[in-house]
Structure 1
Protein backbone atom coordinates (compact mmCIF):
# COMPACT_ATOMS: atom_id res chain seq x y z
CA UNK A 1 0.00 0.00 0.00
CA UNK A 2 2.73 2.47 0.99
CA UNK A 3 4.73 1.62 -2.13
CA UNK A 4 1.66 2.27 -4.30
CA UNK A 5 0.97 5.62 -2.61
CA UNK A 6 4.64 6.53 -2.95
CA UNK A 7 4.65 5.76 -6.70
CA UNK A 8 1.42 7.71 -7.14
CA UNK A 9 2.89 10.69 -5.28
CA UNK A 10 6.11 10.51 -7.30
CA UNK A 11 4.37 10.36 -10.66
CA UNK A 12 1.90 13.15 -9.90
CA UNK A 13 4.49 15.35 -8.24
CA UNK A 14 7.03 15.02 -11.07
CA UNK A 15 5.13 17.49 -13.28
CA UNK A 16 4.79 19.96 -10.43
CA UNK A 17 8.50 19.64 -9.68
CA UNK A 18 9.39 20.34 -13.30
CA UNK A 19 7.09 23.38 -13.32
CA UNK A 20 8.56 24.79 -10.10
CA UNK A 21 12.12 24.19 -11.30
CA UNK A 22 11.33 25.78 -14.66
CA UNK A 23 9.83 28.86 -13.00
CA UNK A 24 12.78 29.17 -10.59
CA UNK A 25 15.23 28.84 -13.49
CA UNK A 26 13.28 31.44 -15.45
CA UNK A 27 13.52 33.80 -12.48
CA UNK A 28 17.30 33.32 -12.36
CA UNK A 29 17.60 33.95 -16.10
CA UNK A 30 15.50 37.11 -15.85
CA UNK A 31 17.59 38.31 -12.88
CA UNK A 32 20.76 37.86 -14.97
CA UNK A 33 19.24 39.75 -17.91
CA UNK A 34 17.99 42.59 -15.72
CA UNK A 35 21.38 42.86 -14.00
CA UNK A 36 23.15 42.95 -17.38
CA UNK A 37 20.81 45.63 -18.76
CA UNK A 38 21.14 47.62 -15.53
CA UNK A 39 24.95 47.48 -15.50
CA UNK A 40 25.29 48.26 -19.21
CA UNK A 41 22.82 51.12 -18.91
CA UNK A 42 24.53 52.48 -15.82
CA UNK A 43 28.12 52.38 -17.05
CA UNK A 44 27.78 52.92 -20.80
CA UNK A 45 24.81 55.27 -21.03
CA UNK A 46 24.79 56.70 -17.49
CA UNK A 47 21.13 55.66 -17.22
CA UNK A 48 20.40 52.66 -14.96
CA UNK A 49 17.28 50.56 -15.38
CA UNK A 50 14.47 52.04 -13.31
CA UNK A 51 13.21 49.49 -10.79
CA UNK A 52 15.83 46.90 -11.72
CA UNK A 53 16.88 46.22 -8.15
CA UNK A 54 13.23 46.03 -7.13
CA UNK A 55 12.51 43.38 -9.77
CA UNK A 56 15.60 41.42 -8.73
CA UNK A 57 14.49 41.43 -5.09
CA UNK A 58 11.06 40.06 -5.99
CA UNK A 59 12.46 37.44 -8.35
CA UNK A 60 15.09 36.35 -5.82
CA UNK A 61 12.39 35.66 -3.23
CA UNK A 62 10.30 33.87 -5.85
CA UNK A 63 13.16 31.66 -7.03
CA UNK A 64 14.12 30.68 -3.49
CA UNK A 65 10.61 29.72 -2.45
CA UNK A 66 9.71 28.04 -5.76
CA UNK A 67 12.60 25.61 -5.39
CA UNK A 68 11.99 24.91 -1.67
CA UNK A 69 9.64 21.89 -2.15
CA UNK A 70 12.17 20.24 -4.49
CA UNK A 71 15.04 20.84 -2.08
CA UNK A 72 12.91 19.42 0.70
CA UNK A 73 12.02 16.24 -1.19
CA UNK A 74 15.62 15.63 -2.21
CA UNK A 75 16.78 16.35 1.34
CA UNK A 76 19.36 18.84 0.10
CA UNK A 77 19.12 21.14 3.09
CA UNK A 78 22.33 22.00 4.86
CA UNK A 79 22.86 19.53 7.69
CA UNK A 80 25.63 18.51 10.04
CA UNK A 81 25.85 14.81 10.88
CA UNK A 82 28.05 14.63 13.96
CA UNK A 83 26.57 11.52 15.56
CA UNK A 84 24.95 9.94 12.50
CA UNK A 85 27.40 7.00 12.19
CA UNK A 86 26.80 5.93 15.79
CA UNK A 87 23.00 5.98 15.76
CA UNK A 88 21.14 2.75 15.10
CA UNK A 89 18.95 2.71 11.99
CA UNK A 90 15.64 2.57 13.92
CA UNK A 91 16.63 5.71 15.87
CA UNK A 92 17.57 7.58 12.68
CA UNK A 93 14.24 6.64 11.08
CA UNK A 94 12.33 7.75 14.18
CA UNK A 95 14.30 11.00 14.38
CA UNK A 96 13.69 11.72 10.69
CA UNK A 97 9.95 11.08 10.97
CA UNK A 98 9.67 13.34 14.03
CA UNK A 99 11.73 16.01 12.29
CA UNK A 100 9.53 15.82 9.18
CA UNK A 101 6.38 16.02 11.31
CA UNK A 102 7.73 19.08 13.14
CA UNK A 103 8.71 20.73 9.86
CA UNK A 104 5.24 19.99 8.44
CA UNK A 105 3.70 21.95 11.29
CA UNK A 106 6.31 24.73 11.06
CA UNK A 107 5.92 25.21 7.29
CA UNK A 108 2.12 25.07 7.54
CA UNK A 109 2.20 27.73 10.27
CA UNK A 110 4.54 29.93 8.22
CA UNK A 111 2.32 29.46 5.14
CA UNK A 112 -0.77 30.56 7.08
CA UNK A 113 1.08 33.54 8.55
CA UNK A 114 2.42 34.68 5.18
CA UNK A 115 -1.03 34.19 3.63
CA UNK A 116 -2.58 36.45 6.29
CA UNK A 117 0.11 39.06 5.63
CA UNK A 118 -0.59 38.82 1.89
CA UNK A 119 -4.31 39.33 2.49
CA UNK A 120 -3.56 42.37 4.63
CA UNK A 121 -1.19 43.78 1.99
CA UNK A 122 -3.88 43.16 -0.61
CA UNK A 123 -6.50 44.94 1.52
CA UNK A 124 -4.22 47.96 1.98
CA UNK A 125 -3.18 47.94 -1.71
CA UNK A 126 0.48 47.76 -0.74
CA UNK A 127 2.76 48.21 -3.75
CA UNK A 128 6.49 48.32 -4.43
CA UNK A 129 8.26 51.67 -4.38
CA UNK A 130 9.24 52.29 -8.02
CA UNK A 131 7.20 49.98 -10.22
CA UNK A 132 4.04 49.85 -8.09
CA UNK A 133 3.93 46.03 -8.21
CA UNK A 134 1.40 44.75 -5.66
CA UNK A 135 3.41 43.18 -2.85
CA UNK A 136 0.61 40.71 -2.12
CA UNK A 137 1.49 38.73 -5.28
CA UNK A 138 4.94 37.80 -4.01
CA UNK A 139 3.53 37.01 -0.58
CA UNK A 140 0.86 34.73 -2.03
CA UNK A 141 3.55 32.92 -4.03
CA UNK A 142 5.64 32.47 -0.88
CA UNK A 143 2.58 31.19 1.01
CA UNK A 144 1.76 28.66 -1.71
CA UNK A 145 5.37 27.49 -1.84
CA UNK A 146 5.46 27.07 1.92
CA UNK A 147 2.20 25.12 1.75
CA UNK A 148 3.70 22.81 -0.90
CA UNK A 149 6.78 22.40 1.29
CA UNK A 150 4.59 21.49 4.26
CA UNK A 151 2.78 18.95 2.08
CA UNK A 152 6.14 17.53 0.99
CA UNK A 153 7.24 17.19 4.62
CA UNK A 154 3.92 15.49 5.44
CA UNK A 155 4.41 12.97 2.65
CA UNK A 156 7.95 12.35 3.86
CA UNK A 157 6.58 11.81 7.38
CA UNK A 158 4.08 9.24 6.17
CA UNK A 159 6.22 7.48 3.56
CA UNK A 160 9.67 7.69 5.10
CA UNK A 161 12.96 8.22 3.28
CA UNK A 162 12.29 9.16 -0.39
CA UNK A 163 15.68 7.74 -1.41
CA UNK A 164 14.68 4.34 -0.02
CA UNK A 165 11.38 4.60 -1.91
CA UNK A 166 13.22 5.48 -5.13
CA UNK A 167 15.54 2.49 -4.67
CA UNK A 168 12.50 0.23 -4.28
CA UNK A 169 11.15 1.21 -7.71
CA UNK A 170 12.18 -1.43 -10.23
CA UNK A 171 10.54 -0.19 -13.43
CA UNK A 172 12.78 2.45 -15.08
CA UNK A 173 9.71 4.21 -16.49
CA UNK A 174 8.58 4.89 -12.91
CA UNK A 175 11.87 6.50 -11.89
CA UNK A 176 10.73 10.00 -12.76
CA UNK A 177 12.25 12.50 -10.37
CA UNK A 178 9.65 13.78 -7.96
CA UNK A 179 9.26 16.43 -5.29
Structure 2
Protein backbone atom coordinates (compact mmCIF):
# COMPACT_ATOMS: atom_id res chain seq x y z
CA UNK A 1 0.00 0.00 0.00
CA UNK A 2 1.45 3.37 -0.91
CA UNK A 3 1.90 6.15 1.61
CA UNK A 4 -1.05 8.47 0.69
CA UNK A 5 -3.48 5.55 0.62
CA UNK A 6 -2.18 4.34 3.97
CA UNK A 7 -2.59 7.83 5.43
CA UNK A 8 -6.14 8.07 4.06
CA UNK A 9 -7.00 4.64 5.47
CA UNK A 10 -5.65 5.59 8.90
CA UNK A 11 -7.52 8.91 8.82
CA UNK A 12 -10.73 7.10 7.85
CA UNK A 13 -10.34 4.51 10.61
CA UNK A 14 -9.55 7.13 13.26
CA UNK A 15 -12.50 9.31 12.22
CA UNK A 16 -14.85 6.34 12.20
CA UNK A 17 -13.63 5.29 15.65
CA UNK A 18 -14.19 8.78 17.07
CA UNK A 19 -17.69 8.95 15.56
CA UNK A 20 -18.49 5.48 16.88
CA UNK A 21 -17.42 6.42 20.41
CA UNK A 22 -19.44 9.63 20.21
CA UNK A 23 -22.60 7.83 19.09
CA UNK A 24 -22.15 5.05 21.65
CA UNK A 25 -21.67 7.55 24.47
CA UNK A 26 -24.68 9.56 23.36
CA UNK A 27 -26.78 6.36 23.36
CA UNK A 28 -25.45 5.44 26.81
CA UNK A 29 -26.32 8.92 28.07
CA UNK A 30 -29.86 8.52 26.72
CA UNK A 31 -30.20 5.18 28.50
CA UNK A 32 -28.98 6.61 31.81
CA UNK A 33 -31.31 9.60 31.49
CA UNK A 34 -34.26 7.31 30.74
CA UNK A 35 -33.50 5.23 33.84
CA UNK A 36 -33.14 8.31 36.04
CA UNK A 37 -36.29 9.89 34.67
CA UNK A 38 -38.25 6.68 35.19
CA UNK A 39 -36.96 6.39 38.77
CA UNK A 40 -37.81 9.99 39.61
CA UNK A 41 -41.23 9.63 37.98
CA UNK A 42 -42.08 6.43 39.89
CA UNK A 43 -40.83 7.83 43.22
CA UNK A 44 -42.67 11.09 42.63
CA UNK A 45 -45.85 9.32 41.57
CA UNK A 46 -46.08 6.81 44.42
CA UNK A 47 -44.43 8.58 47.35
CA UNK A 48 -45.35 12.23 46.75
CA UNK A 49 -48.32 11.89 44.37
CA UNK A 50 -46.41 14.18 41.95
CA UNK A 51 -45.38 12.44 38.71
CA UNK A 52 -42.97 14.13 36.31
CA UNK A 53 -45.02 15.95 33.70
CA UNK A 54 -44.31 14.63 30.23
CA UNK A 55 -41.99 11.87 31.39
CA UNK A 56 -43.47 9.33 28.95
CA UNK A 57 -42.98 11.82 26.12
CA UNK A 58 -39.34 12.42 27.05
CA UNK A 59 -38.67 8.70 27.38
CA UNK A 60 -40.17 8.08 23.92
CA UNK A 61 -37.90 10.75 22.40
CA UNK A 62 -34.80 9.45 24.17
CA UNK A 63 -35.60 5.85 23.19
CA UNK A 64 -35.85 6.81 19.51
CA UNK A 65 -32.61 8.80 19.74
CA UNK A 66 -30.82 5.92 21.47
CA UNK A 67 -31.94 3.33 18.91
CA UNK A 68 -30.89 5.42 15.93
CA UNK A 69 -27.59 6.41 17.60
CA UNK A 70 -26.42 2.82 17.76
CA UNK A 71 -27.71 1.80 14.32
CA UNK A 72 -24.54 2.92 12.45
CA UNK A 73 -22.34 1.23 15.07
CA UNK A 74 -24.28 -2.03 14.89
CA UNK A 75 -24.08 -1.86 11.12
CA UNK A 76 -20.33 -1.21 11.08
CA UNK A 77 -19.61 -4.05 13.49
CA UNK A 78 -22.06 -6.29 11.58
CA UNK A 79 -23.88 -7.23 14.77
CA UNK A 80 -27.36 -7.50 13.30
CA UNK A 81 -29.41 -10.51 14.25
CA UNK A 82 -28.55 -13.27 11.78
CA UNK A 83 -29.47 -16.90 11.44
CA UNK A 84 -26.70 -18.87 9.75
CA UNK A 85 -28.16 -22.35 9.39
CA UNK A 86 -26.81 -22.81 5.86
CA UNK A 87 -23.72 -20.61 6.11
CA UNK A 88 -21.30 -23.53 6.14
CA UNK A 89 -22.86 -24.96 2.95
CA UNK A 90 -22.05 -21.92 0.81
CA UNK A 91 -18.62 -21.48 -0.78
CA UNK A 92 -16.65 -18.48 0.46
CA UNK A 93 -16.87 -16.62 -2.88
CA UNK A 94 -20.64 -16.99 -2.94
CA UNK A 95 -20.89 -15.71 0.65
CA UNK A 96 -18.76 -12.70 -0.26
CA UNK A 97 -20.92 -11.94 -3.29
CA UNK A 98 -24.09 -12.37 -1.24
CA UNK A 99 -22.77 -10.02 1.45
CA UNK A 100 -21.74 -7.36 -1.05
CA UNK A 101 -25.15 -7.47 -2.73
CA UNK A 102 -26.85 -7.40 0.67
CA UNK A 103 -24.83 -4.35 1.76
CA UNK A 104 -25.53 -2.49 -1.47
CA UNK A 105 -29.24 -3.32 -1.23
CA UNK A 106 -29.25 -2.04 2.35
CA UNK A 107 -27.66 1.22 1.14
CA UNK A 108 -30.75 1.75 -0.99
CA UNK A 109 -33.11 0.83 1.86
CA UNK A 110 -31.42 3.00 4.48
CA UNK A 111 -31.07 5.93 2.06
CA UNK A 112 -34.76 5.68 1.15
CA UNK A 113 -35.75 5.70 4.83
CA UNK A 114 -33.40 8.64 5.46
CA UNK A 115 -34.93 10.64 2.59
CA UNK A 116 -38.44 9.87 3.77
CA UNK A 117 -37.73 10.87 7.38
CA UNK A 118 -35.90 14.00 6.16
CA UNK A 119 -38.98 15.04 4.13
CA UNK A 120 -41.20 14.42 7.16
CA UNK A 121 -38.82 16.50 9.29
CA UNK A 122 -38.97 19.35 6.77
CA UNK A 123 -42.77 19.21 6.83
CA UNK A 124 -42.77 19.17 10.65
CA UNK A 125 -40.47 22.21 10.64
CA UNK A 126 -42.71 24.02 8.14
CA UNK A 127 -45.82 23.36 10.23
CA UNK A 128 -43.93 23.91 13.49
CA UNK A 129 -45.16 20.59 14.87
CA UNK A 130 -44.56 20.05 18.59
CA UNK A 131 -45.09 17.20 21.05
CA UNK A 132 -48.37 16.98 22.94
CA UNK A 133 -47.41 17.79 26.53
CA UNK A 134 -44.05 19.53 26.55
CA UNK A 135 -44.33 21.28 23.17
CA UNK A 136 -40.90 20.06 22.04
CA UNK A 137 -40.39 20.70 18.30
CA UNK A 138 -40.48 17.33 16.55
CA UNK A 139 -38.47 18.41 13.52
CA UNK A 140 -35.15 18.40 15.40
CA UNK A 141 -35.67 14.84 16.57
CA UNK A 142 -36.66 13.77 13.07
CA UNK A 143 -33.64 15.48 11.49
CA UNK A 144 -31.42 13.65 13.98
CA UNK A 145 -33.02 10.31 13.08
CA UNK A 146 -32.62 11.07 9.36
CA UNK A 147 -28.95 11.94 9.92
CA UNK A 148 -28.37 8.63 11.71
CA UNK A 149 -30.09 6.80 8.85
CA UNK A 150 -27.86 8.59 6.31
CA UNK A 151 -24.85 7.57 8.36
CA UNK A 152 -26.12 3.99 8.40
CA UNK A 153 -26.58 4.05 4.61
CA UNK A 154 -23.01 5.34 4.22
CA UNK A 155 -21.78 2.60 6.55
CA UNK A 156 -23.51 -0.05 4.43
CA UNK A 157 -21.92 1.53 1.34
CA UNK A 158 -18.45 1.32 2.86
CA UNK A 159 -19.07 -2.29 3.89
CA UNK A 160 -20.27 -3.13 0.40
CA UNK A 161 -17.22 -1.59 -1.26
CA UNK A 162 -14.35 -2.63 1.02
CA UNK A 163 -12.75 -6.02 0.82
CA UNK A 164 -14.80 -8.63 2.63
CA UNK A 165 -11.63 -10.56 3.49
CA UNK A 166 -11.16 -8.31 6.52
CA UNK A 167 -14.81 -8.69 7.49
CA UNK A 168 -14.68 -12.49 7.31
CA UNK A 169 -11.48 -12.64 9.34
CA UNK A 170 -12.94 -10.37 12.03
CA UNK A 171 -16.20 -12.27 12.02
CA UNK A 172 -14.46 -15.61 12.45
CA UNK A 173 -12.37 -14.27 15.32
CA UNK A 174 -15.52 -12.83 16.90
CA UNK A 175 -17.30 -16.17 16.58
CA UNK A 176 -14.33 -17.93 18.16
CA UNK A 177 -14.31 -15.44 21.06
CA UNK A 178 -18.06 -15.90 21.48
CA UNK A 179 -17.70 -19.70 21.53
CA UNK A 180 -14.98 -19.44 24.18
CA UNK A 181 -17.12 -17.16 26.34
CA UNK A 182 -20.00 -19.65 26.27
Deviations 1:120-168 (CA, angstroms, capped at 9, x unpaired): 001011000110000111110110000000000000011033535769x
Once the two structures are TM-superposed, the CA of residue 28 in structure 1 deviates from its matched residue by: 0.4
**Runs of at least 5 residues in structure 2 that lack an aligned partner in the other structure:** 172-182
Provide the rounded CA distance (Å) in 2 between the counterparts of 1:166 and 1:85: 17
Runs of 4+ in 1 over 2 A off after TM superposition: 1-9, 160-167
Quick one: which of 24, 28, 41 aligns to 1:25?
A: 28
Alignment of 1:80 with 2:83, yes or no, is yes
Alignment of 1:128 with 2:131, yes or no, is yes
Once the two structures are TM-superposed, the CA of residue 6 in structure 1 deviates from its matched residue by: 4.7
**Using CA pairs below 8 Å that are at least 6 residues apart, which structure has the higher relative contact order?**
1
Once the two structures are TM-superposed, the CA of residue 82 in structure 1 deviates from its matched residue by: 1.8
Aligned to 1:177: none
Contact 1:6 1:165 in 2 (8 A): no
Provide the rounded CA distance (Å) in 1 between the counterparts of 2:167 and 2:23: 20
Provide the rounded CA distance (Å) in 1 between the counterparts of 2:139 and 2:78: 29
Number of residue pairs the alignment of both structures matches: 167
Deviations 1:50-105 (CA, angstroms, capped at 9, x unpaired): 00000000000000000100000111111111210100000000000000000011
Provide the rounded CA distance (Å) in 2 between the counterparts of 1:32 and 1:160: 41
> Aligned Cα RMSD in Å?
1.9
TM-score normalised by length of structure 2: 0.86
Aligned to 1:110: 113
Q: Per residue, is there more helix in 1 or in 2? A: 2
Provide the rounded CA distance (Å) in 2 between the counterparts of 1:10 and 1:88: 30
Provide the rounded CA distance (Å) in 2 between the counterparts of 1:48 and 1:106: 41
